[in-house]
Amino acid sequence: MAAGLGTRMRSETPKHLHPLLGKRLVDWVLDAARDVGPEPLVVVTSPEAKDVLAGDGLTLAVQGEARGTGDAVAAARTALDGFDGDVLVLSGDSPLLTPELLQGLVDAHREAKAAATVLTFEPVQPLPYGRIVRDREGNVRAVVEERDATEQERAIRELNSSTYVFDAAELWGALDELKPDNAQGELYLTDTVRALVDAGTPVATYKSDDPEAPVGINTRVELAAAAAVLRDRINERHMLGGATIVDPQATWIDPQVELEPDAVVYPFTVLRGTTRVLRGAEVGPHVVAIDAVIGERALVGPFCYLRPGTVLEAGAKAGTFVELKNSRIGEGTKVPHLSYIGDAEIGAETNIGAGGITVNYPHEPGKPKGRTKIGRNVRTGVHNAFVAPLEIGDDAWIAVGSVVTDDVPPGSLAGFAPRQVTKEGYVHDKHRRSADD
């Protein structure tokens, strides 16, 4: 279910599409579901979000008007026409669900041969969720939403997670009986539990050992809290795999990022997208890398920005206040400080002096960016600008303060900024003349 607008997010973006550690909120739920192997995988969405969610092997069902969770599930009926197996129902705002927890729920449902099985949990702190009401023998009697609960029912600590498994035939029959007889005037999916029990069909529960996993997101505060949990899970996985993360709470790593054993990540580092950090590399502190490859034993940072398409080969260095974009930095090559290198290829064992800038964006409208090629074992000076398209040959030297506009042959010295002119006594003479006047 991903049709709600999420008004408590105070945003023009639908709740389920908010970014969360490298994915959209709903993508975390979809990925957990995919690992359980559902066929088909149906997403109930609003008319506003249907185009954004289309594709990626999903079957879309549109809930034309938000009339409650029961109506949302009913919107999927056409997409599941003829299906007679188990229907796993998930809320698209529960990013902390894991494949293991969902598989446990499905297995418990099948073992109990139940008409429905509800995933329940007991939170550390009170939450405004539906209460699991049981009879004296401990059997599920109903799920009562907090707004409709009595004071005695609100004292119940076992909560509904809005995650279920239903027998398909039992689900459609129960949905047909729903009525909006509640505080919000909506069709509650939870009312199907009472209907199934009243019809004499068994309803089971499966309790989550992790009190955080089933929690949904309704506010930006909860979104940030979920991000912290996901961050910790990701960082723990990398550390158990052999990478060093010096301060896990100050390090944010997207789920697709790869860290090889013996990679080291220092605090206040953000690794995003498909970034790869190879064995023995050291990254940080204060580094942002997006869709970059950081080679073996490479050094990055502090205060460095690697933009998409950047490749640092083995032993390369990108130092303080360096920005690299769509560039390959050769083995053992150093870009130590205060430089921007974009759309460039730099050979092995080259040194880029401080303040090196590739000038690759032309002023003429419609003209494509140029590319800069710098060879092996090149030594550039301080404050060099390289105006692309440009090629500098192996073993070349570039003089300090030079703007390089033409190709430089291998083994050449190029540049030669204007020579310094010194006028001795100029300032003192000027002050004397002013005093005489």
The catalytic residues are 337
| 118 strand-pairing partners | 164, 205
Whole-number Å distance between alpha carbons of 405 and 118: 69
For residue 283, give both structure tokens. 């990254």
Question: Which residues have C-beta within 8 Å of that of residue 337, sequence separation ≥ 6?
Answer: 319, 320, 321, 322, 354
Q: What is the DSSP letter of 172?
A: H
Query: To which H or E segment does residue 152 belong?
Result: helix 151-154
Question: Which residues have C-beta within 8 Å of that of residue 4, sequence separation ≥ 6?
Answer: 14, 15, 16, 46, 66, 92, 93
DSSP 3-state of 191: helix
Residue 56 CA, chain-centre distance (Å), reads 17
Residue type, 386: F
DSSP 3-state of 37: coil
Contact 226, 215 (CB under 8 A): yes
